[in-house]
């Protein structure tokens, strides 16, 4: 089983938008964005809206979490993969399914009732904190960074 060329995994509750589709893919040199999200995998309207904001020459795939786990190891070497998830729980599901993820970029987790803000663009509830701690325990670095040229901040420091 070959190790897929995963350049980065990002948590962003908006999934693909301008920052992800252009700024991040270009700075990473990604040629494939995999959205690992159960709802989006069955929502062709959301998919076509996201496809509109991806740089030319970059492919997209919209997979359920389980399908991502099932196919990620079959990726070709030439595929430079950028995975986008909605929540830390989704990333944890991928990791527990043997997804070869070592680093997680946290971009955007909106504030809603029951969440507390730990950063300008990141709010968490107890479930999020548990998932982030579990990722850290598994040796996965989680860092908040909205755009590539911004300094990253460790999630574990902000939730401790």
C-beta contacts of 119-127 below 8 A and 24+ residues apart: 119/144, 119/153, 119/158, 120/146, 121/146, 122/155, 122/158, 124/159, 127/89
Residue 17 annotated to the active site: yes
CA distance 159 to 133: 9
Catalytic residue among 17, 73, 110, 119: 17
Show which residues are catalytic. Answer: 17
């Amino acid at each position: 089983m070959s190790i897929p060329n995963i350049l980065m995994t990002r948590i962003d509750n908006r999934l693909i938008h301008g920052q992800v589709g252009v700024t991040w893919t270009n700075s990473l040199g990604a040629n494939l964005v995999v959205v690992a999200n159960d709802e989006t995998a069955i929502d062709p309207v959301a998919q076509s809206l996201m496809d509109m904001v991806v740089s030319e020459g970059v492919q997209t795939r919209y997979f359920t979490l389980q399908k991502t786990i099932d196919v990620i190891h079959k990726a070709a070497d030439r595929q430079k993969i950028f995975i986008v998830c909605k929540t830390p729980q989704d990333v944890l599901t991928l990791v527990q399914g043997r997804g070869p993820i070592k680093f997680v970029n946290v971009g955007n987790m909106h504030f809603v009732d029951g969440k507390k803000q730990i950063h300008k663009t990141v709010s968490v509830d107890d479930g999020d904190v548990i998932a982030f701690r579990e990722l850290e325990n598994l040796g996965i670095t989680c860092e908040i960074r909205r755009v590539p040229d911004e300094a990253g901040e460790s999630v574990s420091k902000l939730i401790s």
